[in-house]
Amino acid sequence: MFSFRTMLLPKPILTSVCDPLCDFVESAIHLYLYQRGVYPRCSFSDFSIFGIQIQFCNNPDVKKYIFDCVESLRPRLPLIREIRILLKAPDPCATGASEYLESLALRFERIDEALARKDMLLLQLQEHFATALIRLNLLECTYPPIDVEERWVDEHAFR
């Protein structure tokens, strides 16, 4: 499950920044799910974005769910300053009462019109996103995976 908290920026982000920002958020979610062991490693495959290789979930339902969550933000993305990704344990009883395990906060406080004007091709921004994904990838080295039982009754157990 993902939760998005919005805070308005003093100056809205130009809409040209929205595409790489959406790509980054979507990639960060996939990588975070991989690093924290929420789904089995076999359900991920290599994917190249911003010039680096990350792990992307290859289950169509999970990919669509993440894509739809990120796309739902697009209209308000120029105003968002922080996105918090919350992980919930899959509920084996399907009661919906499982607790949040942890969260990842993505802050975009320095992405504004001045940055977009200075970095017209958004290359610097993409390098920053690549660096952030590399740092997120280091979570595997520093944090043990969360303890979630691998109960895969069918492909709809992702939600």
> What mean pLDDT comes out for the span 84-112?
64
pLDDT of residue 46: 92
Closest CA to 79 of 103, 109, 114: 109
Q: Mean pLDDT of all residues in the chain? A: 72
Mean pLDDT, residues 109-136: 72
Task: Write the CB contacts of 58 (distance below 8 Å, at least 6 apart in sequence).
Answer: 43, 44, 45
Are the C-beta atoms of residues 55 and 30 closer than 8 Å to each other?
yes
Break the chain into its structural domains and give their ranges: 15-142
Query: Lowest mean pLDDT: which of 12-26, 57-71, 112-126, 137-151?
Result: 137-151
Q: Residue 85 and residue 102: Cα distance in Å, rounded?
A: 8
What pLDDT, in 10s, does the model give residues 20-61? 888 888 998 898 888 878 888 999 999 999 888 989 999 999
Residues in the chain: 159
* pLDDT score of 59: 93
Q: What six digits make up the tokens of 52? A: 């680096």
Largest CA distance in the chain: 52
Q: Are 57 and 39 in contact (CB under 8 A)?
A: yes
Helix axes 123-137 and 18-35, enclosed angle (nearest 10)? 10
Burial zone of 13 (CB within 10 Å; 0-12 exposed, 13-18 middle, 19+ buried): buried
Q: Name the architecture of domain 15-142.
A: 2-Layer Sandwich (3.30)
Q: In which residue are the tokens 């509920």 written?
A: 91
Q: How far apart are CA 96 and CA 113, in angstroms?
A: 41
Residue 94, token pair as written in the block:
């399907």
Instruction: Return d(Cα 7, Cα 106) in angstroms, integer.
Output: 12
- Its pTM stands at 0.68
